[in-house]
């Protein structure tokens, strides 16, 4: 499960970062900074949701992971 979580978090980061590459240039922010900020915020949203689920139930199951990843889209 840990490998799946890490792999999916990387996918969330990339999916959020790539579209923001050009937006950063438009507002005079470096491409790397724009991508890092967008990707990092998306990953943190997923981690926050997983942490809340773990706090409430004491476990993280596949349904929790799918829901958290789905909300990051």
Per-residue model confidence (pLDDT) at position 72: 62
18, 35 Cβ separation under 8 angstroms: yes
What is the b/e burial string over 10-47, where b = at least 16 CB atoms within 10 angstroms of the residue's CB? eebbeebbeebeeebeeeeeeeeebbeebbeebbeebe
**Where are the chain's structural domains?**
2-71
Per-residue model confidence (pLDDT) at position 46: 93
Alpha helices in the chain (DSSP H): 2-17, 21-26, 31-57, 62-71
Per-residue model confidence (pLDDT) at position 73: 59
The DSSP 8-state label assigned to residue 1 in this structure reads -
Mean pLDDT across 55-66 = 92
Query: What is the per-residue pLDDT across 12-60, written as a single tens digit (0 to 9) for each?
Result: 999 999 888 778 777 888 888 889 999 999 999 999 999 999 999 999 9
């Amino acid at each position: 499960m840990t490998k799946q979580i890490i792999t999916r978090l990387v996918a969330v980061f990339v999916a959020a970062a790539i579209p923001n590459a050009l937006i950063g240039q438009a507002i005079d922010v470096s491409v790397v900074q724009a991508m890092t900020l967008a990707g990092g915020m998306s990953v943190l949203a997923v981690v926050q949701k997983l942490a809340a689920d773990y706090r409430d139930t004491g476990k993280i199951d596949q349904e929790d992971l799918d829901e958290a990843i789905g909300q990051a889209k």
